[in-house]
Amino acid sequence: MSTPPKLLIFAGSTRLASFNRKLAHAAAALARAAGAEVTHIELANFDIPMYNADLEAKGTPADVMKLKQILFEHPAWIICSPEYNGSYTALLKNTIDWVSSPVKGDPAWQEGFKSFSGKVVGILSASPGALGGLRSQSHLAPLLLNAQCWVAPRAFALGHAGDAFDAEGRLINDKHRSNVQAVIDQVLSASRRLND
């Protein structure tokens, strides 16, 4: 029996009532049901300051190093990206900036894109509006491509997210679940092909 694919899921938000955090939880449940080995992380659990090269020169923060390792160990990712002012969040950009920065003097982490290169990434988003965060996806995809990720062509933007979840945080609508599942399936399938 083949080893279940390792899938990392996280949202680019720390807001307690974040729709994208709810979407990440829902995606994690669907991926586990599909047989994936899922690691679902919350960026709020990592103490990561705003990126500053002067600060970095004093030493890469320990939680950045933890996050580098987590991202490196997972060949497939799902990112749930909120939309702020028509783009992805400062939290998500700051996280990518830190994780993609080389660690000077550390032979294992001298390559900045080590945690990103070859990862298969699916993008989901959710927002109260009709477009569901679609513009954040259009900005995030080129950033990930620049970091040498494989971005899945299938994506899903959950519009009117305030009405999309039940009291337990599950997606109510079968079509929404199907669209999220389709992104998960494509990411897992591509990851298997690239990593066999």
Query: What is the amino acid identity at position 133?
Result: G
What is the CB neighbour count within 10 angstroms for residue 78? 29
The answer as to whether 116 is a domain residue is yes
The answer as to whether 16 is a domain residue is yes
Rounded-to-10 torsion of CA 49, 54, 60, 62: -40
The answer as to whether 89 is a domain residue is yes
The answer as to whether 182 is a domain residue is yes
The answer as to whether 1 is a domain residue is no
The answer as to whether 58 is a domain residue is yes
Per-residue pLDDT of the chain (196 residues; tens, 9 = 90+): 467 789 999 999 999 999 999 999 999 999 999 999 999 999 999 999 999 999 999 999 999 999 999 999 999 999 999 999 999 999 999 999 999 999 998 999 999 999 999 999 999 999 999 999 999 999 999 999 999 999 999 999 999 999 999 999 999 999 999 999 999 999 999 999 998 7
Give the 3-state secondary structure of residue 42: coil
Counted domains in the chain: 1
* Predicted pLDDT at 151: 98
CA distances from 68 to 30, 60, 99, 100, 136 (A): 25, 11, 6, 8, 23
Rounded-to-10 torsion of CA 59, 89, 70, 142: -100
The answer as to whether 52 is a domain residue is yes
CA distances from 135 to 3, 76, 81, 147, 182 (A): 36, 23, 10, 19, 20
Domain containing 114 equals 6-195
Give kind and range of the element (H or E) at residue 76.
strand 76-80
Q: Looking at residue 29, which CATH number applies to its domain?
A: 3.40.50.360
Residues in the chain: 196
pTM above 0.85, yes or no: yes
- For the chain, the distance separating the N- and C-terminal CA atoms, rounded to the nearest angstrom, is 14
The answer as to whether 107 is a domain residue is yes
